[in-house]
Amino acid sequence: MPSVCDSLPSVLSLAEARDRLVAALSPVRGVESVLSGCALGRVTADDIPTGVDFPPFSNAAMDGYAVRSVDGVPGATLQVVDRIMAGATSDRTLEPGQAIRIFTGAPLPDGADAVVIQERVVQEGETLRLGLSAPLLAGENVRFRGEELRAGERLLASGRILRPQELGLLAQAGLETISVRRRPRVAVLSTGDELVASGGSLGPSKIYESNRAVLFGLLAELPVEALDFGIVADDRNLLGDALERAQAAADVIITSGGASVGAADFMVELLAERGTVEFWRVAIKPGKPFLFGRLGETPLFGLPGNPVSMMVTFMALVKPGLEALIGLRPATPIRWPVRALSVIQKTPGRLEFIRGVLKRRGGELFVLPLAEQGSHRLSSMSLAHCLIVLPRESSGVAAGDWVSVEMLPGGERDMSEGAA
């Protein structure tokens, strides 16, 4: 009897798969109000205006003396008539020939339009002599009210992921709460008769399951709510029941294992029966048996069971898909050109991701492929700094050739500590 797999489209390129996947996904509905200080990693639901000017008043950019710029000529002497600390004010209006001692962040007094830094003056009692080499310009060493932003102007755009610097902007604008998009609920499950949860007892032919741990770590870097649906045996009915429960609870489902062509791989046929298979198989190595479709209306990403293949397909395909669901513009992977430190063999036909470590040689950065590239070797992802990306048509590279690399999560830190 023909399999549903026989009628599916041919193997897609990575670019085609990514484009089709992203185009098929829309942001989840729902908005929440959260405390601004607790909004790290969340996504803005609307444009956010500032209700105050940035800065809210004209102030000194340096410690020094507030003066009228017309009085700021080399060798001039001025009378110091007041002192303003940050957080204080002065009710004096600066008159011709006068100066006021002022500190960084303190409001500029009326009548002043410039600040002479303290390194350019000599003060004797209340007399100030200006040691300038050129006439002072209006606005020098002054931060003017609203020069960064005016009240009512857009502080942050809708669909912006909030980093520490954005939290600072929200605090600077005095915003206690903001509206953010609801986090997509992501159901995660692994399949395989051979899998045992950590802490369980290993029987003959069993292994500890690691894919969910990796996936939860990767998902923690995104504004999503991860739901654990555990390990499901290679049983068609049990897998169907687990998918039904996940569909009821989540906005999107991620599975690992069961998406290949083995006798116990049921994922593709179950999805075809209960929903839609958008595509299956991508021309990449590792990670060819990647599945994308819908269980009813719920998007489903079916990842390979081998841990390296699973992690590569998550970064290359699942992450941009989740970003589309979150309401972000999916980020294009940043690839850096470096020279290969050794020969890298490859057969044309699939875009290939090769685990590598970065090495410095004479001030230049090189990449060395790890010797072991098996897709079951999760330890190689721990040892690697990056993935060497060889195009589909490539037949390999020689030592010294330029290649592109993508950094792995945390690879920059590992490289700074270990690339020698």
pLDDT computed for residue 96 by the predictor: 97
Rounded distance, CA 9 to CA 27, Å? 27
Domain 59-143 belongs in CATH node 2.170.190.11: yes
pLDDT value at residue 262: 56
Nearest 5°: phi and psi at 51? Answer: -95, 0
Question: Poorest-confidence range of 47-61, 170-184, 251-265?
Answer: 251-265
- Which residues face 54 on adjacent strands? 149
pLDDT at position 414, please?
A: 62
**The domain 4-29+183-326: what is its CATH number?**
3.40.980.10
Lowest mean pLDDT among 77-86, 312-321, 333-342, 405-414: 405-414
Confidence of residue 201 (pLDDT cuts 50, 70, 90): confident
Query: What tokens appear for 129 in the block?
Result: 């002599």
What is the mean pLDDT of the segment spanning 227-242? 94
Region 19-42: mean pLDDT is 96
Q: What is the DSSP string of 328-358?
A: PPPPPPP-EEEEESS-EE--TTSEEEEEEEE
d(CA 289, CA 300) in angstroms, rounded, equals: 14
> What is the rounded average pLDDT of the residues 217-242?
95
Q: What is the pLDDT of residue 8?
A: 57
Asked if residue 44 has pLDDT above 90, the reply is yes
The mean pLDDT value of the chain amounts to 92
Mean pLDDT value across residues 3-24:
81
Residue ranges of E strands in 36-150 = 48-49, 59-60, 64-67, 77-84, 98-102, 114-117, 121-124, 127-130, 142-143
Residue 2 pLDDT = 46
Question: What is the rounded CA–CA span in Å between residue 36 and residue 265?
Answer: 46
Q: What is the pLDDT of residue 202?
A: 84
Res. 222: pLDDT tops 90: yes
Share of the chain above pLDDT 70, in %: 95
pLDDT tens by residue, 359-377: 988 888 999 999 888 899 9
The pLDDT of residue 1 is 41
pLDDT at 304 over 50: yes
pLDDT at 261 (0 to 100): 62
- For the stretch 157-166, pLDDT in tens is 999 999 999 9
Segments making up each domain of the chain, as ranges: 4-29+183-326, 31-54+148-181, 59-143, 336-418
* Residue 78 near residue 102, CB atoms below 8 Å: no
Closest CA to 25 of 184, 188, 229: 184
CA 340 to CA 354: how far, in whole Å? 12
pLDDT band for position 331 (cuts 50, 70, 90): confident
Q: According to CATH, what is the number of the domain 336-418?
A: 2.40.340.10
Cα separation, 50 vs 149, in Å, equals 8
Q: Which residues of 363-386 are buried (b: 16+ CB within 10 A; e: fewer)?
A: eebbbbbbeebebebbebbeebbb
Does the pLDDT value for residue 103 go beyond 80? yes
pTM of the model: 0.87
92 CB-near residues (< 8 Å, 6+ apart): 81, 82, 100, 109, 110
Q: In this structure, which topology does domain 31-54+148-181 adopt according to CATH?
A: Molybdopterin biosynthesis moea protein, domain 2 (3.90.105)
pLDDT value of residue 9: 57
Cα separation, 311 vs 332, in Å, equals 17
Q: Tell me the one-letter amino acid at 378.
A: L
- In the chain the first and final C-alpha atoms are separated, in Å, by 57
Q: What is the pLDDT of residue 361?
A: 87
Q: Kindly state the tokens that stand for 405.
A: 């690399």
